[in-house]
Amino acid sequence: MNCDEFVELVTAFLDGALSEHDERRMTDHLAECDGCTTYLGQFRSTVDALGRLDEPRLAGTTRESLLAAFREKHV
Ligand SMILES: [Zn+2]
């Protein structure tokens, strides 16, 4: 996955709408790309601020994957 594809899929990712395969590719990309990790954080903050996406709608597994990816970068 490259950054363009990541950005293209980010809404579906946050919405838990991706297949497990694509979701894995997203988290793999996050683990190795600081730019997209930052982008995702900003995107989520923006979406949350707009109230268009409820946090509970994120699947638990997705949230765990995200947290894991973020921890890897920020430990
Ligand atoms: Zn990237």
19 Cα–ligand 1 center, Å = 19
Write the single-letter amino acid at 63.
R
Residue 5's alpha-carbon distances to 1, 8, 11, 42, in angstroms, are 6, 5, 11, 17
Mean pLDDT of the chain: 82
Tell how far the Cα of 72 is from the centroid of ligand 1, in angstroms: 15
What amino acid is encoded at 70 in this protein?
A: F
Give the Å distances, CA to CA, from 31 to 17, 21, 37, 39. 20, 15, 8, 13
Predicted confidence band of residue 43 (pLDDT cuts 50, 70, 90): confident
User: Is the four-CA dihedral 17, 9, 52, 59 of positive or negative sign?
Assistant: positive
Residues whose Cβ atom is located within 5 A of ion ligand 1: 3, 33, 35-36
Question: What's the average model confidence in pLDDT over 36-65?
Answer: 72
Given a cut of 60, is residue 54 above it in pLDDT?
no
